[in-house]
Homo-oligomer: A and B are copies of this chain.
Amino acid sequence: MRAVKARQLLASGKIVLNGWSVIPGAFLAETMASLGWDALTIDAQHGVIGYPDVVAMLQGVSGADLTPMVRVAGNDHVLIGQALDAGAMGVICPLVSTAEAAAAFVAACRYPPHGNRSSGATRAMIYAGFDYGANADQVLKFAMIETAEGLDNVDAIAATPGLDGLYIGPSDLSLALGGTQGFDKDEPHMLAAYEKIAAAAARHRIVAGIHTATPAFAGRMAAMGFRFITLVGDFNFILAGRGLVGAAREQIGVNASNR
Contact = CB atoms under 8 A, between A and B. Distances in A.
Interface of A: 15, 17, 19, 22-28, 30-32, 34-37, 43, 45-53, 55-56, 59-60, 62-63, 73-74, 76-79, 81-82, 85-86, 94-95, 111-113, 116, 118-123, 126-127, 133, 146-147, 169, 171-172, 175-176, 178, 180-181, 212, 215-216, 218-220, 222-225, 229, 231, 233-235, 237-242, 244-256, 258-259
| This protein's copies in its complex | 6
| 9 closest residue pairs by CB, A with B | A219-B251, A46-B120, A50-B51, A25-B25, A223-B255, A62-B63, A215-B247, A74-B78, A219-B255
A120 B175 CA distance: 12
Contact of A46 (B118, B251, B258): B118
Given A59-B56, A74-B77, A120-B45, A31 B23 contact: yes
Contacts of A111: 175, 181
B48 A50 contact: no
A238 B234 contact: yes
Contacts of A94: 118
A32 B241 CA distance: 8
A135 to B, nearest CB: 12
A127 to B, nearest CB: 7
Most B Cβ at <10 Å: residue of A53, A146, A224, A233: A53
A216 B252 CA distance: 8
Nearest to A220: B255
Contact of A248 (B116, B172, B218, B249): B218
A108 to B, nearest CB: 11
Given A55-B50, A119-B181, A244-B215, A223 B35 contact: no
10 contacts: A17-B248, A30-B126, A36-B249, A43-B120, A48-B51, A73-B81, A119-B181, A219-B254, A237-B237, A237-B241
